[in-house]
Amino acid sequence: MGPRSGCSVGTWTCEQVGHWLENEGFSDYVDLLCREHRLDGPGLLSLTEADLCSPPLRLEVLGDIKRLVLAVRRLQRENPAALQELGITSAGGHFGDCQRHGVEQHGRDRRSSGARGHYWAIGVQQWHQLPDSPPGQREGAVRLDPEYWKTALSVVYVLLVFGITSFVMVIVHERVPDMRTYPPLPDIFLDSVPRIPWAFAMAEACGLILCSIWLLVLLLHKYRSILFRRMCSLMGTVFLLRCVTMLITSLSVPGVHLQCSRKVYGDIWAKLWRASTIWLGFGMTLAGVQTCGDYMFSGHTVVLTMLNFLITEYSPRSWYFIHTLSWVLNLFGVFFILAAHEHYSIDVFVAFYLTTRIFLYYHTLANTCAYQHSRRMRIWFPLFSFFECNVGGTIPNVYSWPFSQPQFLRSLIIADRSE
């Protein structure tokens, strides 16, 4: 008797489940599921993605896993009475994550469209509906462990990298080439555009505006701890790469207007004192910091670009004005850096390219959980694997007030509702 003979799925035998699998295109798994593990109708309806990923089934073909999950969901929707008899409350609720088994089901990013409807996202524990689901189904929210201790470690990491960068900037200042022997290198942009004296201050002003916007987004984001941890991890990694490029090759000063000459700071304590001055001033000329030799690649471009990408990634797509403003500030900031003749064009280009690539690679790996059970990932990206091991895919852009309501205000709200 075939599975379409009119009987309830809850009464299917293993043979009928086998016929259903063949009809759905999963004949390769009939022996495994029906003959070896005796999967009947009730077992099929309660089958979860975690069951497919973990022992004893442990399926390894991701495409087959996803298609089989969708087929079982469709079967559940077509048989609500059988679900009720079996005590399965919802079709979606039984499909938990497979994070611990190397396969992750990702929800659709609620920012990708402003459409109303059902959006799903994976948490570390189970499926939850996001707040823009219909009323009455908003009780569940994505539960992501903020892991504040990891965030604290990321802050230590980025501050340490900034300290190392400041010290390297002191070293490269001592190695800056003599302008009389090594004049500025030929540069298409610098040779074509006259220098604008106030442009570099404007570039830093663009960075301060972007920083203010990002801090506001970070403050209001529900998962601010994870976002801040990612920012520190990305910033620290890019600036650590910058230390290497500055040390490897010393470029000549890009403009004769720069009063740069080799400067010896004496003993190690003098170098540390100068490095602390750069570190406390964040390397900004607005804070009175003047550096030389730190050209490849542009740290200002890194900060501008990273802040722009963070803002556009973790704010809703409907915030068109904020996204446009963020890109305008980023591009104008880069232009002002070049217009001030503070960096070569290659410095800015490499900084923009590296920052965007690292940001995109990081988030692609994080959103797809590609690091799962990958020894190569743990070797090449140990920091990423450490910070992201308990984050289940895409971070939904949900916002909440960072401070709890005062007790008297909560009492007033409750009293008003009771009336």
> Domain map of the chain by residue range?
9-95, 148-388
Alpha carbons 99 and 301: distance in angstroms, whole number: 36
Alpha carbons 177 and 117: distance in angstroms, whole number: 62
pLDDT tens digits, 186-234: 999 999 999 999 999 999 999 999 999 999 999 999 999 999 999 999 9
What is the rounded average pLDDT for all residues in the chain? 80
pLDDT tens digits, 2-61: 455 457 787 888 888 888 888 888 888 888 888 888 888 888 888 888 888 887 888 888
Most confident among 48-62, 75-89, 130-144 (mean pLDDT): 48-62
pLDDT at position 28 is 86
Please tell us whether the domain made up of 9-95 is placed in CATH 3.80.30.20: no
State whether residue 231 is helix, strand or coil: helix
Does pTM top 0.85 for this prediction?
A: no
pLDDT tens digits, 320-379: 999 999 999 999 999 999 999 999 999 999 999 999 999 999 998 888 876 655 677 778
Long-range contacts of 107-116 (CB under 8 A, 24+ apart): 107/142, 107/393, 107/394, 107/396, 109/394, 109/396, 109/397, 110/316, 110/396, 110/397, 110/398, 111/315, 111/316, 111/317, 111/397, 112/317, 113/317, 114/316, 114/317, 114/318
How many CA atoms lie within 13 Å of 147's alpha carbon, on the beta-carbon side? 20
Residues noted as catalytic: 300, 343, 347
